[in-house]
Every structure is written in structure tokens, then in C-alpha cells.
């Protein structure tokens, strides 16, 4: 896919497909980079899926297994809000 992007650097569909591959490989940085790029290039399909995957709440859930509003921090257990 990288060679395709060399030949077609403005093809949003290729960034989306590569983002899906990285999603299944669990490469978080690459997922976000590809999905953000495909949206910048005008890719307007799967908007909800892409928004979900690149959101901070999704990141928190992937790494902790908890929702953002369930996280606590420090001795006083202050809740952390993630937007």
C-alpha cells in the first residue's frame, strides 16, 4: 500500500484501506494518521467508525478497558473527563 500511496498520494481510499489494515494490526499511531489523512482528503464514508476510532475515549478504552468517565487519578479518585 505504501507504494500505491507513492503513486497516488491524494487517494483517500488508499489511506482508509491502510488504516483498516493497521486497525487489525493494532498499530494505534498508524490508524490515527491514516484515518485523519483520509478525512482531510475528503473521504466521507464510514464517518462514525473513523470518528470513534480516532477519539480519545476509544484510546482510553483500548488501553485501560474502562470508559473515560470511570478512570480515577490520585488519592482522591478525581474523575477524568475525556472529550
pLDDT per residue as tens digits for the range 48-73: 888 888 887 766 676 676 654 444 44
Q: What is the largest CA-CA distance in the chain?
A: 54
Beta bridge partners of 73: 78
CA 8/CA 53 separation, integer angstroms? 24
**Average pLDDT for 26-48:** 90
Classify each residue of 27-45 as buried b or exposed e, where b means 16 or more C-beta atoms within 10 Å of its C-beta. Answer: ebeebbbbbebbbeeebee
The band of 77, judged by pLDDT with boundaries at 50, 70 and 90, is: very low
What is the pTM for the complete model shown? 0.67
Amino acid at each position: 500500500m505504501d507504494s500505491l500511496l507513492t503513486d497516488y498520494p491524494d487517494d483517500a481510499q488508499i489511506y482508509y484501506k491502510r488504516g483498516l489494515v493497521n486497525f487489525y494490526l493494532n498499530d494505534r499511531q498508524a490508524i490515527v494518521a491514516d484515518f485523519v489523512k483520509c478525512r482531510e482528503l475528503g473521504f466521507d464514508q464510514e464517518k462514525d467508525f473513523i470518528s470513534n476510532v480516532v477519539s480519545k475515549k476509544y484510546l482510553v478504552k483500548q488501553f485501560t478497558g474502562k470508559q473515560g468517565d470511570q478512570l480515577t487519578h490520585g488519592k482522591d479518585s478525581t474523575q477524568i473527563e475525556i472529550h
